[in-house]
Amino acid sequence: MKEYLKIKLLSLQAEARIIRQYENKRKISAGRARELLDTHSAIEFHKKEIFRLQNVKYNPHVHDFHSKVAYHEMKLEWLQRQANKTQYAQQNLDYNEKVYLGLHTHRVLDVRKEARATNLAYGFLQGHAYKDVEKTAYTKPPWDRIESMVMRYGEDNDVSARKARFDTWKAEAVV
């Protein structure tokens, strides 16, 4: 039965890793949507660049004047088209932020708490002392969850002896 608990521990580690990857994807997508929403300053920049390039004296042998103006005009047209898509960008931003916060909250509150309880239950079933399993703890462990896992995954048939051992182990734990 300890093998089941070990597999659960490994799957919780993998779940946290996968959730973090998807959090990063959502964070990047939200950043891109935020950039689309901030097109006004970019539009002003390209307008000023076009004006500056058209009013500056230039050496045709040194500068490729027409291609610079064409680039800024093309960029300006693209930004103006993007400005028309702000509603979609806002919806995209809202969705990505909502999903990111949901994933982050699930990973930090639920998965982390369950992984800690699983690790402590596995350490108890392996015969380790609490202080060896968890060297530094700032909050009280979820003792009820740990006890239910110990009772469920313990391999010895004497449930009352396992319960007594767990109560002694829990009393020795100093948090």
d(CA 172, CA 104): 33
Q: Compare 90 and 150 and report the one with higher pLDDT.
A: 150
Cα dist from 82 to 29, 35, 51, 57, whole Å: 16, 10, 22, 32
Cβ within 8 Å of residue 143, ≥6 positions away: 170
Residues 72 and 46: beta-carbon distance below 8 Å: yes
Q: In this model, does residue 62 exceed pLDDT 60?
A: no
Instruction: Please report, rounded to a whole number, the percentage of residues in the chain having pLDDT higher than 70.
Output: 94
Confidence (pLDDT) at 59: 60
Local structure of 79: helix, strand or coil: helix
- pLDDT value of residue 140: 92
DSSP structural state of residue 106: I
Domains held by the chain: number? 1
Q: Is 139 left (phi over 0), alpha (psi -120 to 50) or beta?
A: beta
Give the closest residue to 88 by CA, choosing from 46, 45, 29: 29
Q: State the distance between the two ends of the chain, measured CA to CA, in whole angstroms.
A: 28
**Predicted confidence (pLDDT) per residue in 7-61, tens digit:** 999 999 999 999 999 999 999 999 888 887 777 778 888 888 888 877 776 665 5
- Please state the pTM of the whole predicted model: 0.71
Dist CA 141 CA 62 (whole Å) = 71
Longest Cα–Cα distance in the chain:
93
- pLDDT tens profile 64-80: 767 788 888 888 888 88
Give the domain range for residue 46.
2-172
Percent of the chain surpassing pLDDT 90: 54
Quote the pLDDT of residue 63: 60
**Cα 35 from Cα 54, distance rounded (Å):** 28
For 107-138, the pLDDT digits (tens) are 999 999 999 999 999 999 999 999 999 988 89
